[in-house]
Amino acid sequence: MDFILDGIIKAFYLLFTFDDETYFAIKTTLYSSSISIVIALILGMPLGFCLGHYEFKGRKFLKLISDTGLAIPTVAVGLILYAILSNRGPLGNLGLLFTMKAVIIGQICLSLPIVVSLTASAIENMDKKHKLLIRSYHLKGFREILTVLYEARFSLLVVLATAYGRIVAEVGVAMMVGGNIKWHTRTITTAISLETNKGQFAMGIALAMVLIGIAFLVNLAIYQLRRFDR
């Protein structure tokens, strides 16, 4: 027990003295996750909207593929990306492996199926009264899309919070394609893994406390948004 208490005390010391290495991992995580979620929303929400709102041939198959993406382990995503970005891969000449860009690409790959599937479900499962009301307006084109998005706004914010929470807490992809390089690609989760293996619990506990805090805030946001949605 002593080493745990000692680790917690040192963790508070690292946080309150603004330890450079600790805060670099936090900054890297927030930076890469924020860019990733913006790109994933730009790409994923239109796709999810089409899957949830329109009827067309192959819609169910595409939704099945998107839903399958939710269950793929992060290490599998990391392995595929590693093969693509390595020197022997098709994109090896771009020199992306073990860079922040590779971490961001990996996080986009993880969050994109979440954004697409949950957006499609949110649009598809909208209250029938809302759907009938929107149809009664006889809106067309972009105005119809904006009206549907406005009615589903709280559910879509839940999608955002869920996807963001997923990529902030992931470790497999960041470790495999980012390389966990100090002062370059080291995130909160990869730093926790490294420091724990080294027996340096203080920084691991400090970063875990920050990660738990972020997870709590994300889940608090989801809880509050779901209350508004009811």
Per-residue pLDDT of the chain (230 residues; tens, 9 = 90+): 666 777 777 777 777 888 888 899 889 999 999 999 999 999 999 999 999 888 888 888 998 998 888 888 888 899 999 999 998 889 989 989 999 999 999 999 999 999 999 999 998 888 777 777 777 777 777 787 888 888 888 888 889 988 998 898 888 888 889 888 888 888 888 888 888 888 777 778 888 888 888 888 887 877 777 676 66
Q: pLDDT value at position 45? A: 93
Q: What is the DSSP letter of 72?
A: S
- The residue with tokens 């997870």 is 215
CA separation for the pair 190, 181 (Å, rounded): 9
pLDDT at res. 96: 92
Domain residue spans of the chain: 1-225
C-alpha to C-alpha distance for 167 and 214, rounded to whole angstroms: 12
Q: What is the pLDDT of residue 91?
A: 92
pLDDT of residue 80: 93
CA angle (211 as vertex; 70, 29 as ends), nearest 5: 75
pLDDT of res. 151:
81
Instruction: Give the residue carrying structure tokens 């875990």.
Output: 208
Tokens (6 digits) for 70: 């939710």
Instruction: Choose among 159, 179, 194: nearest CA to 81.
Output: 179
Residue 230: per-residue pLDDT: 60
Alpha-carbon distances, residue 66 vs 119, 121, 152, 164 (angstroms): 11, 11, 20, 17
Q: Give pLDDT, residue 10.
A: 77
Residue 33 pLDDT: 93
Q: How many helices (H) and strands (E) does the chain have?
A: 11, 0
Exposed/middle/buried for residue 134 (C-beta within 10 Å: 0-12, 13-18, 19+): middle
**What's the CATH class of domain 1-225?**
mainly alpha
Residue type at position 191? A
Cβ atoms within 10 Å, residue 180: 20
The predicted pLDDT at position 165 comes to 86
- What letters, b where the CB count within 10 A reaches 16 and e where it falls short, cover 182-215? eeebbbbbbbbbbbeeeeebbbbbbbbebbeebe
